Amino acid sequence: MDGKYIAIYRRFRPETFDKVLGQEHVVRILRSQIASNNTGHAYLFSGTRGTGKTTMARLLAKGLNCLSDGERPCGVCENCVSIKNGAFIDVIEIDAASNNGVDNVRELRESVVYPPGVGRKKVFIIDEVHMFSKGAFNALLKTLEEPPEHVVFVLATTEPNKLPATIRSRCLRFDFKRVSVAEIVKGMREICAEMDVRADDDALVLLAGNADGSVRDGLSLLEQCVSAGTGSIMRESVLEILGSPGDDLLSSLTDDVAAGRIAEALILLDEILAAGKDERRVIEEWIQYFHSALLIKFVKNPERIVNRSVESIDRIRKQSKRLEPAFINDCIYRLSKLLNDVRWSAHTRILLEMTIIEMGENATVER
Ligand SMILES: Nc1ncnc2c1ncn2[C@@H]1O[C@H](COP(=O)(O)OP(=O)(O)OP(=O)(O)O)[C@@H](O)[C@H]1O
Ligand SMILES: [Mg+2]
Ligand SMILES: [Zn+2]
């Protein structure tokens, strides 16, 4: 890699609306507001971390100041580029975590009065706004009540409930949703192509599934795989990075338990843990595995609701035909309870072994 190293998630921040993954409800409205020059004066972007709030705030700021006659923001005009580089004097980003006092807001209010220097609108992006002090909120409220025509505020936070209701009610609010596995995979695929990294779909699905809806987390995981670097990303290497046992082992473990082969199951568990897999991780993934088995058993086309590759779903489908629903339910109950119990316990392994024994015994009792 040449030049200064920049993390993937920063290098690939969307510069135009069409690069944003998910958040269609936000994109649609902002696009049309920008196109019709009909934007509000205060926005509140709330929602899960790493889902695009700061990114969208910058897109809005660019859209308001973009010089293009076509779709705005264009991402390439002088103003768009300048905003991207943080050099545009009319887009002011404030990190509320470190500027949370009344004085900071007073300064802001003084600057609000002056019209934009070069752009059409002066945009104030206040990130992590829930960190503002009470006094800072009060000072901000006055400005939000009667903002000058040329000013747009964008407040972003993961914790909207910490904002005073008076602030919330003055903003146009958008709730950012967790991004689906399919969308994250789509984004990862484009990034891999641009970086000339080969990646199996299976591997990307696995990575995206572990991001839990956060694109940033997904890209950080992708980063780990890339820097572990053989130039290609495969399922096996992903499993290693995730410390996850993988479907093959979970499938065998499930078969053993379902058939009451307790000794085999315990030996297999020993092998999984000896290979460096994390005990809690095994429990979590096994719950997910049983959950998938349950859905696949009952839903005809489970692809949309089960976050697994087609091959993996096929395999689980075959296995789930052999499993009683009551057995699957029982296993999910026991493993979920176990996951809760081990939170404060130093004996995760022992408790997991006991649970396997119970699951195996329960599988073979006459029903
Ligand atoms: N919806 C998305 N579409 C495409 N990329 C995204 C999206 N959300 C996040 N990303 C990626 O993750 C990085 C971080 O996103 P961003 O800073 O916008 O998240 P955030 O919601 O503001 O998170 P936080 O709550 O932690 O501030 C971006 O640079 C981008 O690479
Ligand atoms: Mg942010
Ligand atoms: Zn532009």
What is the DSSP-derived secondary structure letter of residue 127?
E
Token pair recorded at residue 295: 């859905």
What is residue 335's predicted lDDT score, i.e. its pLDDT? 97
In this predicted model, which residue has the larger pLDDT, 7 or 64?
Answer: 64
Q: What is the pTM of this model?
A: 0.77
- Local confidence band at 4 (pLDDT 50, 70, 90 cut-offs): low
CB of 360 within 6 A of ligand 1: the answer is no
- Local confidence band at 125 (pLDDT 50, 70, 90 cut-offs): very high
CATH architecture classification, 8-176:
3-Layer(aba) Sandwich (3.40)
334/85 Cα distance (integer angstroms)? 52
Q: Which fold has domain 247-364?
A: Zinc Finger, Delta Prime; domain 3 (1.20.272)
Look at residue 367 and tell me whether its pLDDT is greater than 60.
Answer: no
161-197 confidence digits (pLDDT tens): 999 999 999 999 999 999 999 999 999 999 999 999 9
Q: Rounded mean pLDDT of 194-204?
A: 91
Contact 76, 67 (CB under 8 A): no
Q: Rounded mean pLDDT of 41-58?
A: 96
CB of 54 within 6 A of ligand 1: the answer is yes
Distance 219 CA to ligand 1 centre (A): 10
Q: Rounded mean pLDDT of 198-225?
A: 90
Look at residue 36 and tell me whether its pLDDT is greater than 50.
Answer: yes
Contacts by residues 358-362 (CB-CB < 8 Å, ≥ 24 positions apart): 358/334, 359/257, 359/330, 359/331, 359/334, 360/256, 360/257, 360/260, 360/261, 360/262, 360/265, 361/260, 361/262, 362/327, 362/330
87/61 Cα distance (integer angstroms)? 13
Closest-CA residue, ligand 1 atom 11, reads 216
CB of 158 within 6 A of ligand 1: the answer is yes
249-271 confidence digits (pLDDT tens): 899 999 999 999 999 999 999 99
Q: Rounded mean pLDDT of 351-359?
A: 97
Q: With respect to CATH, is domain 181-242 assigned 2.30.30.280?
A: no
Distance 43 CA to ligand 3 centre (A): 21
SS3 339: helix
Q: Where are the domains of the chain?
A: 8-176, 181-242, 247-364
CB of 179 within 6 A of ligand 1: the answer is yes
What is residue 103's predicted lDDT score, i.e. its pLDDT? 86
